[in-house]
């Protein structure tokens, strides 16, 4: 054990640390503090600390509905991503090299494209004049256009599209660590294909499902562009409400309070799920 | 009475022949080892028997029934994989019970059989542990127990000792042999370790480049190898090319006349003498003379390298005291005619005569 | 291993179609000759692509985003490379805390970061400035570079550096001639991912960018809020193509899956 401390790592990390403290930590603390001040009717921020903003949020039904909608949507999106993301990751892991390369571009590539572009595509698909409705009308399945834009369903579908790559990635990472011969072992003991998937593969990828699920949940709850564009003005979620308060009503303290509540709920749910899943499946976590 | 039969089994990957027409009959309760260097086709053959690789040609018969086209999850064979492939998210007991569960055995009966099987491999107290809490040797036993619990007609082992250290490997080999005798299950094991094969097997199947070189009991295969490959893979050997047109008790090797008890063979031949069969001879009974270029002490025996007109020869003698020669010594070597084998020279890999 | 069941394969291609649908839609719609978005349409034309060139606002925003992305990525790389090496190669007290802090922007919702930075920048008098926006983007994309640098540096066999030292190289030479070249693929991949993330970023930028510093995504969003017109579709298609090119470059450098997963 050398008595002299090596200062090099500290020198190397200081610039990054200072930058992050200044532009992330400090602003977040300021926001927290901002939420504890009242909003003056004429604009501006008062100087007495108060919990008025939080009380407002707790009491007003308007906000209750918005929070319920936001987290209901986030949970639904997460579940859907698990349902379609896990099998997709499994198939990806079994494809041959050539098909896998193509599939990765198709499945993960959209992550590199701005959410505005992707959501625009859904706006075109989901509109009353959009392709999906045209197909439904032409095939005679419906007699008039199905309303998908500006609906909860539309937002959920678009969000699943935006977020499912994260789930696929997380589960795929878990699949890499899996010993493929356990599948063969199960087969040699008489298990059919679906039993192998259900009893052998899926339990071993639970860590990936958990990590993917937490990412998707957090991103879905704090999504802005997709609910704004597909959901429209009437289908408000917390992030769009924050936008309204901050840039519309200029009520920064209330906006800040909403942001704090959002972060706290996401954190609590994440930690709770984390602990629950890890405890129940602890033999799979190293 | 043949219990497991491989008839003309082959596997081609495009132009590459992994396994050439392979014929093998395994009797009930027999312990057979597929032995050979990497790439010889032994693992591919095992996987074909297990059902994970589709043969290109040939049939597999189990107790008279053709199982070549039967899916792996319907063959009911017990398999121990090289990596053990234990289910990490299940306890030892659940791992062992899995096959019984698939067979639809009732819970109570399952528990009894799992307990009995775990006793068999001396892992009773570990039943509720998880694989990651076990040592390498213990995991191997769980894998064994899991395969045996379903009472399979055939047990397949794919290099099961590969991950164990030398000492543990020796212990496990003895245990495995005892276990197999107790249970009486027909067993096929793949290994590249010739000492292991000779320890465990009733019969050894030596494979090279996709073909079976020789099949036989360990002692036979060692004492009467059928060619250069067989003699150098199983143990060490001094091998020289020789040719003769007439039968007789001697053969000419590079200008020297050497004795042999294989009087019948003629043609292009290989002359094989094992190191432990050669002695130092100071007098005129020496068949060949040379100089010791290296001497190595190996605990229970000495190994000598001697430069002779025939080439470098190796001889060993047991450590019964001081070594009989030193580096640099001029020595004479002799051996008995019955310890010198004559076999046909192989042009390419051939099957056992 | 036996082949994947046909059902699963069919599911896979359905999934792929689902992933591509909106992008294909956007590309198709951009070729309309009408003044509004309609599918299907009868006349195809380059009209809306030519319109991009005539629209100074969007062209400005494009170059601004490009410059911002390059600057933020470069700054982030300059900060992340030394930090990443320190974290990967040295065990020092506070290592976990530093790593957590530097990666924290990944876990804060962008909308929250957006309002926090808006408030902060206003208070220090930097709201609406390009440098404020750049600083914001830098810390936002720093985690992406850091993850890849740490992964590359962790996989690096330190005995190679020791060998260089034993042959007489100074610490600086070892860094310059042995360590740095070996982590360059990770650094390059990190830069690209940082650039892409900065270029695409919307939610935080909505709050931090002002009318004078609008990035391309923000401008597009504001445009959509009014009307969805084919100009957006053509711009989007151009962006999709540019991203495709970048993906090919990334794959050549590093392997697309490694970069996206942030793993070695």
| The pair of three-digit structure tokens given for residue B342, joined into one six-digit string | 């004559």
Beta-carbon contacts of A183 under 8 Å, excluding residues fewer than 6 positions away, are A196, A200, A201, C1
Predicted confidence at residue A102, as pLDDT, reads 85
Q: Is residue A262 part of a domain?
A: no
Confidence (pLDDT) at C1: 44
The answer to whether residue B352 scores a pLDDT higher than 80 is no
Averaged pLDDT of chain A: 88
- B166, B196, B223: which is the final residue of a domain? B223
User: What ipTM is given for this predicted complex?
Assistant: 0.87
CATH number for the domain that contains residue B245: 2.40.50.140
- What's the domain range around B90? 2-223
How many Cβ atoms sit within 10 Å of the Cβ of residue C190?
Answer: 32
Q: Do A181 and B83 touch (CB under 8 A)?
A: yes
Predicted confidence band of residue B321 (pLDDT cuts 50, 70, 90): confident
Whether B163 is covered by a domain: the verdict is yes
Residue A7 domain flag: no
Write out the two tokens for B6: 């491989």
Orientation of helix C110-123 relative to helix A252-280, angle to 10°: 140
Pick from B353, B292, B347: nearest CA to B324: B292
Residues B196 and B289 in one domain: no
Whether A95 is covered by a domain: the verdict is yes
**In this structure, are B241 and B219 located in the same domain?**
no
The pLDDT-based confidence of C191 (bands split at 50, 70, 90) is very high
158-187 of C, contacting A, C-beta below 8 A: none
Q: How far apart are CA A7 and CA B320, in angstroms?
A: 63
Domain ranges of chain C: 55-261
Distance from the Cα of B102 to chain A's closest Cα (Å) equals 6
- Which residue has better confidence, B348 or C250? C250
Helix, strand, coil percent values for chain B (each to nearest 5): 30, 35, 35
Closest CA to A230 of A119, A130, A97: A119
Q: Supply C142's token pair.
A: 């720093």
**CB contact (8 A) between residue B132 and residue A182:** no
Closest alpha carbon within chain B to A193: B73
Size of chain A in residues? 286
Q: Render pLDDT for C42-85 as a digit per residue (tens, 0 to 9).
A: 777 888 888 888 888 899 999 999 999 999 999 999 999 999 98
Residues β-bridged to residue B35: B191, B206
Is residue B105 scored above 80 in pLDDT?
Answer: yes
Per-residue pLDDT at C5? 81
Note whether B208 and B260 are same-domain residues: no
Residues in a beta bridge with B10: B57
Separation of alpha carbons A191 and B53, rounded Å: 17
- Omega before residue B247 within 30° of 0, cis: no
Buried b (16+ CB within 10 A) or exposed e, B311-341: eebbbbbeeeeebbbeeeeebbbbbeeebbb
The pLDDT assigned to A40 comes to: 78
Q: How many domains does chain A have?
A: 1
Distance CA C235, CA C240 (A): 9
Strand B31-35 with B186-191, pairing: parallel
Of residues B121 and A143, the one with the higher pLDDT is B121
**B136-149 and B92-103 are packed helices; what angle lies between their axes, rounded to 10 degrees?**
20
| Whole-number Å distance between alpha carbons of B216 and B245 | 29
Question: Has residue A238 got a pLDDT over 90?
Answer: yes
What's the confidence (pLDDT) of residue C159?
A: 78
In a domain? residue B230? no
Tell me the nearest-neighbour CA distance from C139 into chain A, angstroms. 6
Q: Does B87 share its domain with B173? A: yes
The predicted-structure confidence for A240-255, as pLDDT tens digits, reads as follows 999 999 888 888 889 9
Shared-domain flag, residues B152 and B195: yes
Instruction: Give Cβ neighbours of residue A30 (< 8 Å, ≥ 6 apart).
Output: C116, C119, C120, C123
Range of the domain at A244: 62-249
Residue A36 belongs to what H/E stretch? none
Q: Angle A54-A60-A62 (CA atoms, 0-180°, nearest 5)? A: 120
Q: Let me know whether B67 and B209 are in one domain.
A: yes
- The phi and psi torsions of C229 (rounded to 5 degrees) equal -115, 160
Q: Is the pLDDT of residue C31 over 50?
A: yes
* Residues whose CB falls within 8 Å of the CB of residue B41, separated by 6 or more in sequence, listed in order: B11, B18, B19, B20, B22, B207, B209, B210, B211
Instruction: Quote the minimal CA–CA distance from A59 to chain C in Å.
Output: 22
Mean pLDDT of chain C: 86
Strand, helix or coil at A272? helix
Burial of C252 from C-beta contacts in 10 A (0-12 / 13-18 / 19+): exposed
Q: Is C225 on the interface with A (CB under 8 A)?
A: yes
Tell me the residues of B at the A interface, defined by beta carbons under 8 Å apart: 50-52, 72-79, 81-83, 85-90, 98-99, 102-103, 130, 132, 146-147, 150
Distance from CA of A188 to the nearest CA of B (A): 5
CATH number at residue B68: 3.40.50.300
The two structure tokens encoding residue B146: 């899991």
Distance separating alpha carbons of residues B60 and B70, to the nearest angstrom: 10
Domain presence at residue A6? no
Whether residue C263 has pLDDT greater than 60: no
CB contacts < 8 A, A to C, total 265
Q: What is the mean pLDDT of residues C231-251?
A: 88
Task: Provide the 3-class DSSP secondary structure of residue B87.
Answer: coil
Within 8 A of A188 by CB-CB distance, chain B residues are 50-51, 72-73, 75, 77-79, 147
Mean pLDDT of B152-163: 92
User: What is residue C157's predicted lDDT score, i.e. its pLDDT?
Assistant: 73
From the list A112, B175, A34, the residue with the least C-alpha distance to C23 is: A112
| Nearest chain B residue to A285, by CA | B89
For residues B213 and A199, give the distance between their C-alpha atoms in angstroms, rounded to a whole number: 42
Q: What is the mean pLDDT of chain B?
A: 90
Residue B167: inside a domain? yes
Q: Which of B37-51, B84-98, C2-16, C36-50 has the lowest mean pLDDT?
A: C36-50
Chain B residues within 8 A of A282 when measuring between CB atoms: none
d(CA B283, CA B223): 27
How many domains does chain B contain in total? 2
Q: Are B273 and B178 found together in one domain?
A: no
Instruction: For strands B31-35 and B203-208, give the pairing.
Output: parallel
pLDDT digits (tens, 9 = 90+) for A38-75: 887 766 777 778 888 888 888 899 999 999 999 999 99
CA A159 and chain centroid, separation: 8
Q: At A111, is the secondary structure helix, strand, or coil?
A: helix
Cβ pairs A/B, distance under 8 A: 70
Would residue A46 count as lying in a domain? no
Write down the pTM of the prediction.
Answer: 0.81
Among candidate residues C221, C192, C245, the one with its CA nearest the CA of residue C76: C192
Looking at residues B16-41, what average pLDDT do you find? 93
Q: Choose among B75, B89, B130: nearest Cβ to A203.
A: B89
Three-state DSSP state, B308: strand
From B169, B201, B223, the end of a domain falls on B223
Tokens of B348: 């390419």
Kindly report the nearest CA distance between residue C195 and chain A, in angstroms. Answer: 10
Under a CB-based contact definition with an 8 Å cutoff, are residues C69 and C131 in contact?
no
Residue B353, domain member (yes or no): no
* Strand B256-259 relative to strand B211-216, pairing: unpaired
Most confident range, picked from B146-150, B235-239, C255-259: B146-150
What pLDDT was estimated at residue A156? Answer: 96
Average pLDDT over residues C84-96: 88
* pLDDT the model gives residue B348: 46
Instruction: Please judge whether A121 and C23 are an interchain contact, meaning their C-beta atoms are less than 8 angstroms apart.
Output: yes
Q: Mark yes or no for CB contact A116/C220 under 8 Å.
A: yes
Residue B80 is inside which H or E element, if any?
strand B78-80
Q: How would you class A76 by CB atoms within 10 Å of its CB: exposed for 0-12, middle for 13-18, buried for 19 or more?
A: middle
Q: Using CA coordinates, name the residue in chain A closest to B88.
A: A284
Q: Are residues B219 and B242 in the same domain?
A: no
* Helix, strand counts (H, E) of chain B: 8, 20
DSSP C118-143: HHHHHHTT-TT-HHHHHHHHHHHHHH
Query: Residue C260 and residue A111: Cβ atoms within 8 Å?
Result: yes
The last residue of one of the domains, among B182, B197, B223, is B223
User: pLDDT band at residue C259, thresholds of 50, 70 and 90?
Assistant: low
Furthest-apart CA atoms within chain A: distance in Å? 82
- The phi, psi pair for B151, rounded to 5°, reads 50, 60
Helix, strand, coil content of chain A in percent (nearest 5): 75, 0, 25
Q: Which phi and psi (to 5°) does residue B263 adopt? A: -75, -20
A184/B89 CB distance under 8 A = no
Average pLDDT of the residues in B189-197: 92
Domain assignment present for residue A80? The answer is: yes
Task: Write the CATH number for A205.
Answer: 1.10.3720.10
Residue B228 pLDDT: 87
Which three-class secondary structure state does DSSP give residue B225?
Answer: coil
Chain A neighbors of B103, CB-CB under 8 A: 190
Is the confidence at residue B37, as pLDDT, over 70?
yes
Distance of residue A279 Cα from the nearest chain B Cα, in angstroms:
13
Do B72 and A188 count as a contact with CB atoms less than 8 A apart?
yes
Task: Name A4's Cβ contacts closer than 8 Å, sequence gap at least 6.
Answer: none
Identify which of C144, C124, C132 has the alpha carbon closest to the alpha carbon of residue C205: C132
pLDDT digits (tens, 9 = 90+) for A6-22: 788 888 899 999 999 99
pLDDT at residue A3 tops 80:
no
pLDDT at C264 over 60: no
In this structure, which CATH number among 3.30.413.10, 1.10.3720.10, 3.40.605.10, 1.10.390.10 belongs to the domain C55-261? 1.10.3720.10
**pLDDT at C94 (0 to 100):** 87
Q: How far is CA A232 from the centre of its chain?
A: 19
**Chain A positions in Cβ-Cβ contact with residue B82 (cut-off 8 Å):** 181
Cα–Cα dist A199/B90, whole Å: 10
**By CB neighbour count within 10 A (0-12 exposed, 13-18 middle, 19+ buried), where does C16 fall?**
middle
> Quick one: average pLDDT of B259-279?
88
Identify the bridge partners of residue B340 per DSSP, sorted by sequence position: B273
Query: Tell me, what's the pLDDT at B351?
Result: 42
Residue B174's Cβ-count burial label (10 Å; 0-12, 13-18, 19+) is exposed
Q: Does C131 touch chain A (CB under 8 A)?
A: no
Query: Is B32 part of a structural domain of the chain?
Result: yes
* Residue A285 predicted with pLDDT over 80: no
In this prediction, residue C257 carries a pLDDT of 66
């Amino acid at each position: 054990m050398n008595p002299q401390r090596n200062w090099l790592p500290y020198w190397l990390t200081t610039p990054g640390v200072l930058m992050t403290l200044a532009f992330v930590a400090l602003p977040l603390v300021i926001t927290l503090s901002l939420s504890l001040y009242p909003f003056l009717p004429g604009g501006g921020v008062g100087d007495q600390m108060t919990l008025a903003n939080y009380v407002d949020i707790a009491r007003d039904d308007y906000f209750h509905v918005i929070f319920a909608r936001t987290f209901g949507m986030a949970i639904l999106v997460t579940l859907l991503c698990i349902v379609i993301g896990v099998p997709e990751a499994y198939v990806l892991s079994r494809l041959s090299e050539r098909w896998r390369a193509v599939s990765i571009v198709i499945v993960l590539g959209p992550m590199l494209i701005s959410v505005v572009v992707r959501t625009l595509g859904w706006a075109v698909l989901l509109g009353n004049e959009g392709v999906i409705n045209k197909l439904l009308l032409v095939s005679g399945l419906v007699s008039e256009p199905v309303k998908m834009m500006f609906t909860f369903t539309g937002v959920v579908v678009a969000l699943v599209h935006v977020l499912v790559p994260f789930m696929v990635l997380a589960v795929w990472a878990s699949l890499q660590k899996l010993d493929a011969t356990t599948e063969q072992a199960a087969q040699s003991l008489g298990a059919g294909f679906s039993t192998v998937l259900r009893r052998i593969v899926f339990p071993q990828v639970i860590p990936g499902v958990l990590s993917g699920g937490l990412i998707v949940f957090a991103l879905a709850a704090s999504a802005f562009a997709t609910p704004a564009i597909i959901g429209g003005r009437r289908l408000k979620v917390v992030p769009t409400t924050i936008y309204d308060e901050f840039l519309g009503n200029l009520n920064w303290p209330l906006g800040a309070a909403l942001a704090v509540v959002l972060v706290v709920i996401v954190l609590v749910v994440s930690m709770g799920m984390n602990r629950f899943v890890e405890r129940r499946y602890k033999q799979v976590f190293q | 009475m043949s219990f497991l039969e491989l008839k003309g089994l082959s596997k081609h990957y495009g132009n590459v022949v992994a396994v050439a027409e392979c014929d093998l009959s395994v009797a009930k309760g027999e312990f057979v080892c597929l032995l050979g260097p990497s790439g010889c086709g032994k693992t591919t053959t095992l996987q074909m028997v297990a059902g994970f690789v589709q043969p290109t040609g040939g049939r597999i018969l189990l107790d008279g029934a053709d199982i070549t086209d039967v899916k792996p999850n319907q063959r009911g064979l017990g398999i121990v994989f090289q990596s053990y492939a234990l289910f990490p998210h299940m306890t030892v007991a659940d791992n062992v019970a899995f096959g019984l569960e698939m067979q639809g055995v009732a819970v109570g009966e399952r528990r009894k059989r799992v307990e009995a099987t775990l006793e068999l491999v001396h892992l009773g107290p570990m039943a509720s542990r998880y694989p990651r809490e076990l040592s390498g040797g213990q995991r191997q036993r769980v894998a064994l127990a899991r395969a045996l619990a379903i009472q399979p007609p055939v047990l397949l082992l794919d290099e099961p000792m590969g991950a164990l250290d030398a000492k543990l490997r020796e212990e496990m080999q003895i245990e495995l042999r005892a276990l197999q005798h107790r249970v009486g299950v027909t067993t096929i094991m793949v290994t590249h370790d010739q000492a292991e094969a000779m320890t465990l097997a009733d019969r050894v199947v030596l494979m090279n480049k996709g073909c079976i070189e020789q099949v036989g009991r360990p002692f036979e295969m060692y004492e009467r190898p059928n060619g250069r490959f067989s003699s150098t893979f199983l143990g060490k050997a001094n091998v020289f090319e020789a040719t003769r047109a007439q039968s007789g008790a001697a053969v000419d090797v590079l200008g020297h006349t050497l004795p042999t008890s294989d009087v019948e063979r003629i043609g292009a031949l290989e002359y094989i003498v094992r190191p432990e069969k050669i002695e130092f001879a100071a007098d005129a009974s020496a068949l060949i003379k040379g100089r010791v270029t290296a001497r190595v002490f190996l605990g229970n025996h000495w190994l000598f390298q001697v430069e002779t007109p025939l080439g470098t020869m190796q001889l060993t003698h047991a450590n019964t005291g001081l070594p009989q020669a030193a580096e640099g010594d001029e020595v004479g070597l002799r051996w008995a005619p019955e310890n010198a084998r004559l076999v046909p020279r192989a042009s390419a890999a051939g099957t056992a005569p | 291993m036996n082949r994947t069941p046909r059902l699963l394969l069919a599911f896979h291609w359905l999934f792929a179609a689902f992933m591509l649908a909106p992008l294909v839609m956007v590309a198709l719609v951009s070729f309309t000759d009408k003044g509004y978005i309609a599918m299907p349409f009868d006349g195809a034309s380059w009209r809306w692509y030519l319109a991009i060139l005539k629209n100074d606002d969007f062209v400005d925003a494009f170059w601004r985003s490009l410059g911002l992305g390059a600057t933020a990525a470069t700054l982030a790389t300059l900060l992340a490379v030394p930090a990443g090496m320190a974290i990967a190669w040295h065990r020092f007290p506070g290592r976990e805390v530093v790593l957590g802090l530097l990666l924290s922007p990944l876990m804060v919702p962008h909308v929250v970061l957006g309002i926090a930075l808006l408030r902060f920048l206003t208070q220090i008098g930097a709201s609406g400035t390009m440098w404020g926006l750049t600083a914001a983007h830098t810390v936002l994309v720093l985690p992406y570079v850091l993850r890849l640098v740490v992964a590359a540096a962790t996989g690096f066999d330190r005995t190679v550096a020791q060998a260089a030292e034993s042959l007489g190289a100074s610490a600086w030479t070892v860094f310059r001639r042995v360590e740095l070249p070996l982590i360059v693929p990770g650094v390059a991949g990190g830069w690209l991912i940082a650039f892409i993330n900065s270029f695409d970023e919307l939610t935080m930028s909505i709050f931090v960018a002002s009318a004078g510093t609008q990035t391309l995504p923000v401008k597009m969003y504001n445009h959509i809020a009014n009307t969805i017109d084919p100009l957006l579709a053509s711009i989007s298609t151009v962006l999709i193509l540019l991203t495709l090119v970048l993906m090919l470059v990334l794959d050549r450098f590093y392997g697309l899956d490694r970069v996206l997963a942030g793993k070695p």
